[in-house]
Structures are given as C-alpha cells and as structure tokens.
Amino acid sequence: MSAANGTATRELNLVQAINEGLRQAMEADERVLILGEDVGVNGGVFRVTEGLYQKFGGERVIDTPLAELGIMGASIGLAVAGLRPVCEIQFDGFLPSVLDQVVCHLGRLRNRSRGHNTVPLVLRAPHGGLIHAPEHHSESPEAYFCHTPGIKVVVPSTPEDAKGLIIAAIKDPDPVVFFEPKLLYRAARGPVPERPYETALGKARLAREGGDISLICWGAMVHTCLKAAEELSKDGISAEVLDLRTLAPVDLESLLSTVEKTGRVVIAHEAPNMGSWAAELCALISERALLKLKAPVRRVGSWDIRMPLFRLERFYIPDAERVALAAKETLSF
Amino acid sequence: MALETVSQEKTQRLEILSPEGCIDAAVSVDVPEPVLLDIYRKMVEIRLFDERAIKLQRQGRLGTYPQILGQEASQVIPALCLEPRDWLVPTYRGQGAYYARGMQLRYSLLYWAGDDRGVRFGQERDMIFSIPVGTHLTQVAGLAWASKLKGDGSVALTYLGDGTSSKGDFHEALTFAGQFKLPAIYVIENNHWAISVPRERQAAAKTLAQKAHGYGVFGLQVDGNDPLAVWAAATRAIARARAGQGPSVIECETYRLGHHTTADDATRYRSSAEVEAWKRKDPVPRLRRYLEKRGLWDEARENALLDQAQAMVQAEVDAYEAFPPPNPLDMFSENYERAPWPLVEQRAQLEKLLEFKADRQEVPALPPAEGRFP
C-alpha cells in the first residue's frame, strides 16, 4: 500500500507520525500493547507515546519497572503467547543490556522451535546523536542488531515513512527493531496521510536522483547526505541519495541499481566504521557489483573511538562537509 | 509433614531525628561535633551549587543536569564517612558524593556541559559513575573483592536508586557480595521516582532493604532525610565491612524534590501535594534545627556559611566558564595504552579536517590537545 494514494495529509513531525502509527495499530488490533519505562503516564521521555495511556489505559500502555533486560524478555514471552508487544528501550545506550535476550532468543526462537514459537514484537529505541544529550544517549548500535540473524532492523528518516514503517513493523510476523533518529524527532516535518497505511519493510527510498555518485545512508544521516548533495551540485556534481529505510534485510535491488548507475559510492552513517553496517554494505557491493565500480567504496562513519561528550559530537559524527569531501575524493580517484 | 519456618528475616528502619529537629531520647547520638558541622556545611554548599547549576542550564550555559535537591543527606553523608583508601562509586546524580570526597565543583559543571575534561574527582579511588543504571553494581563487588583479596582494609561504597534496584545487576551484585562476604556497601537512594515511575511500581516488596536478606546480606531502611540516621547507618555498615563481617544494603528513604533532570517535567506525573509533604521533611533545615537546639548554630553562623558557600560556588562557576573550548583531537587520547593504527590514521584525518575548518573559520582557536597519544 503506498502512502500516496488518496486521502488527506497534514504536516507532522517524526514524534507525531510514530505516535499516530502506534495509535492506529492499537485501534486496529487489540493484541497490540506498549511497554517500557515512562511510556505511560509521562508519554515517553520524547513524548512518542503521549496520550496513548489516556486512550487505551494502563493494561495496554504499561509503565514497567526499570529493567531493560526484563522488558525485553517479558516482551518475548508476551509475543510468543500471542500478543503484539511494542516495547521501548528509552535510550540507545541502554540497548546493550537487552542483547542477551536479543541475540540468544529474539532472533532464534522461531528457528530453534522449528517454527513452533514465533516472536512478532517491535523493539523501539531512539537512535543517533547531535542533540547535545548526556553520555550513552547518542549511540548508533544498529550493527549489533543487524549482525543478529532472525530479526529485521528499520530506521526511518521522514515522518511519512516513520508512520508507515511502524505500522508495518507491528504487523510483521517476525521481530523488528525500530530505530528512531532523535535528531529528527522534532526537526523532521513533512506530510503524513491521516489514514493507516504500511510502508513495506525491506524497501529503500531514492531520496534524491543523481548520476555521478551514490550517497547511501539511513536515519538522520539521510538529511546530512541531502545537504552534501546540495553542496556538491554547486560544483557541478550530481549525487544520488539512497535512504535504505530497512537495514536488515537490505533492499539489494535498489542498492545494486544505484551502484550500477553511478559506479561511485559513499556510505555515510553515525556509527564507528569498524565492523559497522556500512562495512557489510561494502562487502555486498564488492561481491555483487565489483566490475561496475569506478572507485573504491568509501565509508564515512564516526571515528573508531567511543562517542565523546557532546561538546565534541559534531567533530565525531560526520557532517555534510565530511561526506562531500569523501565524495570528491571518490570522484577524483 | 507440617510446614515449618526455615527463615524469618525482619527488616528494621532507623530514624533518629524527627522532621522538627527533635531527637529520640532512647537513641544515643555520637556524631562528633566537627563532623556534624561538616555534614551541615557540605549539605548547604551542594544545595546552593545545585540551584546555581539549574539557573545556568536555564540560561543555556549548561547541558542537561540532574538535580539532587532533597537528597543532600543520603548523597553527602555516606561518602563523608569513608576514608581516603576506600572506593566510592556514585551514580550520575552523584555530584554531592564526589564533592564530599573533595571534587572541585567546576568539574561537575564541565561534565554536564558535555566536556570530557569534567571527569576529575577528588580521590584516586573515586570511580566514574555509570550512565546505564546499575551496571556498576557488580563492578563494585569486584572492587570490594580486590580489597578483601589484598587484605588492605579498604571498603567499597556505592549508590543506586529505587529504580535501579529492579535491575538484574542488583541481584547479581548482591549474590556476589553475599557469597564472598565482600566489604561492600550498597546505598539505595530511594527518592521515590525513577523519572515518572513511582517506587511502588518498582517492586511489590514492602521495602527495598529487605531484598538484601535473600542474598545473606545485611539490610536496613533508614529515613534518608534524617542526617543522623544516615550517618549512623553508614558508619556501622562501613565498620562491619572493614571488620570482615560482610556487605550491607542501606535503603535511604528520601525524595527527589526536583525534576529527574532539567530535561524532565515532574508536574506531568506527580502531585504538588506530594512534593509539599516531602518538603516538610527536608534534611537541611532539619539538621539546622537540631544544631540550633544543641547550641551549635545560630543565624550569624548561618549567614556566614551562606556567604562563604555563595562565594565558593561563584568561584567554581567562574573557573568552569574560563575553560577554553576542548580541542577535538582530545577524543583520540587515552583510548588505549598505545593507540593502534586506525586511531593514528583517523586522528591525522581529523587534524586535516580541523585545518580545513579553521581556514573557513568554522572552528574557534583551540588549546593544545590533552592526554596521552598514541
């Protein structure tokens, strides 16, 4: 179902779009419930679940004790037993504590039980930096999740996609990790259809067409790449921007199609390059489109050190300047 | 076969000083006078600092800041009871504990301004707090274990909140501490709110202190706004630990009078009546009334203290604001004993990028890079 066909739209930000998607998914399916820290009365620390406790009550929008691993494990149990939990881990920096359940169980239960136990849940968490947040509140841990077989990983970059993807994630029969770029929570605004709709998982979005070089990205970095593309256009360079939207499983067709079109690739993301999802994309491109390349694929990520405190975050996470410089170097290879 | 009781643990609560500043005649109070005055002074100083930090944040001169308003007794006193050789591991809401051990408050401001140079504490054995809550608790068991193995007579004291007591880390930490009879003290600052989630939502248990019993650990609840009770409980727990009698959990029942942090709005989830009721148990005026009754304090001394404290806070704010912006290259220092090639390469890339940005006047003049590299 495309978001574009018919019915009214209005401008929403990312928070409002996800909130509406959650609300409509809960209206459509009474098995859907939300649990996490501060998601109920307080409406979430970013207000993503605002108003849902008041509308659906404390049995469906549940403030849990402060125990991330407990939230994760309990959500798995709820999902195996037939409910559709959407659990929230309040900050990306608290996700490592749920990896025990994610790696050992969330991605494996279907296979281990030979299809007897399935885990249709959504794990929501904020993603990324550049909001001057405290330590452990600006992380980009997607690679840990993408590396885990059996789960899907989604990162929207526009309000329209955010609503369609959260609804699709909730309906998906398998576990989906849904990252919400916190830089975009209020900064990204755009038209969002009022009715419920799904944006297909596993499909990328061409955010900008171009012929000279492909900038591949996700989350908040999509906007950085669009800015870089704009800068590059002043120098007569036509950059294409591919917003992956789903990281796992990645949209191979769109990925290869842009590589074949331009032959030059920069992959931009917020995580350190070492062992990153960008590294996996590089491998995919080299395995499947090596002869289409006119230059080595370039990764532009954060440095291979921990995220510094926020005074230095803009020197750590790539900005449009770093992306554009890498693009120019790739073009002059 | 009939049921028989195989275990029956009782949880006690300690309160010595009433909210009115009156003392329970049945309890002997043996806090030395200089200690009492030191406790009061530090509680007042940290409160003034806290107020000032909030103002700085509101003026855009500081990042997100976690207030300790109302928790001064449970923050400051346990740390004050330690010896320099002991380990201290506060939480992120721990500037009071670090201050009690000698941290200059300029560094607290620098840290909450998003500057890694703000990590500078008063004692060698003050460990950096954890932001993912509770992850330090097993580490503290390790610190205490090392003290025991080395036989150096030191103890490890740490803090956690009521919310953190729900985490698996708490269970594992107490399992280790109890099993190996470690010289560890776990101070729960039960301030009743984990952001918007009330204490009652954290555990069906009547107290958090009683959780200790399940691990063979001593557990005690104290009125955390009663400075004398906190002092008595902390000194006893530390003495027990030092004497090889094992770990303790002290649940300080207190109240977070402010928001969770400056990014929070507590009026969304709790009533002002509740807040007002707790203000009447405020530990600072409570101790002041007691000191006055003992003839140790009066208005002149109070005014002198406020003047000194304001001057100290102002000096710390000035020192904080005099720091030049950090050199971005600092982030490459102190990552490894010796930095491997990716860091050497990437630091050089950043250096080039900074020159590029300097040419375009996108970065201010920077001080020399700090820290060890490579």
DSSP letter for each residue of A313-333: GGGTS--HHHHHHHHHHHHT-
**B56 touches B329 (CB < 8 A):** no
Gap from B24 CA to chain A (nearest CA, Å)? 36
Q: What is the pLDDT of residues B166-193, one digit of tens each?
A: 999 999 999 999 999 999 999 999 999 9
B164 and B253 within one domain? yes
- The reply to whether B8 falls in a domain is no
Q: How far apart are CA B76 and CA B157, in angstroms?
A: 12
B361 and B272 within one domain? no
- The reply to whether B368 falls in a domain is yes
- The reply to whether B3 falls in a domain is no
pLDDT of the residue at A7: 81
Which of A315, A321, A322, A328 has the most B C-beta neighbours within 10 Å, making it the best mutation to test the interface with B? Answer: A315
B17 and B84 within one domain? yes
Q: How far apart are CA A32 and CA A5, in angstroms?
A: 26
Tens digit of pLDDT at every position of chain A (333 positions): 444 556 899 999 999 999 999 999 999 999 999 999 999 999 999 999 999 999 999 999 999 999 999 999 999 999 999 999 999 999 999 999 999 999 999 999 999 999 999 999 999 999 999 999 999 999 999 999 999 999 999 999 999 999 999 999 999 999 999 999 999 999 999 999 999 999 999 999 999 999 999 999 999 999 999 999 999 999 999 999 999 999 999 999 999 999 999 999 999 999 999 999 999 999 999 999 999 999 999 999 999 999 999 999 999 999 999 999 999 999 999
Interface of A with B in 31-60 (CB under 8 A): 37-38, 40-43, 45
B126 and B98 within one domain? yes
Per-residue pLDDT band at B60 (split at 50, 70, 90): very high
pLDDT of the residue at B30: 85
pLDDT of the residue at A4: 53
- The reply to whether B7 falls in a domain is no
Q: Got the DSSP string for B228-251? A: HHHHHHHHHHHHHHHTT---EEEE
- The reply to whether B4 falls in a domain is no
B331 and B311 within one domain? no
Find, in chain B, the residue whose alpha carbon is nearest to that of A309.
B114
Chain B positions touching A310 (Cβ under 8 A) are 63, 114
Please, which residues have CB within 8 angstroms of residue B318's CB and are 6 or more apart in sequence?
none
Q: Which residues of B298-320 are buried (b: 16+ CB within 10 A; e: fewer)?
A: eeeeeeebeeebeeebeebbeeb
pLDDT of the residue at B351: 96
Q: Where are the domains of chain A?
A: 9-193, 205-331
B44 and B117 within one domain? yes
Q: Is residue A100 less than 8 Å (CB to CB) from chain B?
A: no
Interface of B with A in 19-58 (CB under 8 A): none
Chain A positions touching B261 (Cβ under 8 A) are 134
Q: Establish whether B280 is a catalytic residue.
A: no
For the annotated catalytic residues of A, the residue numbers are 137
**B173 touches B140 (CB < 8 A):** yes
- Boundary-marking domain end, from B289, B305, B321: B321
Q: What is the dotted CATH code of the domain comprising A205-331?
A: 3.40.50.920
B29 and B125 within one domain? yes
Q: Of 1.10.10.10, 3.40.50.970, 3.20.20.80, 3.40.50.2300, which CATH number belongs to A9-193?
A: 3.40.50.970
For residue A249, say if its preceding peptide bond is cis, omega within 30 degrees of 0: yes
Number of domains making up chain B: 2
- What integer is the mean pLDDT of B330-351? 97
Q: Which residues of A143-152 are buried (b: 16+ CB within 10 A; e: fewer)?
A: bbbbebebbb
B354 and B221 within one domain? no
pLDDT of the residue at B365: 85
For residue B62, give the 3-state DSSP assignment. coil
Domain that holds residue B145: 13-321
B350 and B273 within one domain? no
pLDDT of the residue at A2: 46
- What integer is the mean pLDDT of B120-142? 97
Beta-carbon separation of B332 and A303 below 8 A: yes
Half-sphere exposure of B324 (CA within 13 A, CB side): 12
Q: Is residue B116 less than 8 Å (CB to CB) from chain A?
A: yes
- Tell me: pLDDT of B198 over 70: yes
- What integer is the mean pLDDT of B124-128? 98
pLDDT of the residue at A1: 43
Share of chain B above pLDDT 90, in %: 93
**A61 touches A40 (CB < 8 A):** yes
- What integer is the mean pLDDT of B68-97? 98
Q: What CATH number has the domain bearing residue B295? A: 3.40.50.970
pLDDT of the residue at A6: 62
- The reply to whether B70 falls in a domain is yes
B251 and B333 within one domain? no
- The reply to whether B2 falls in a domain is no
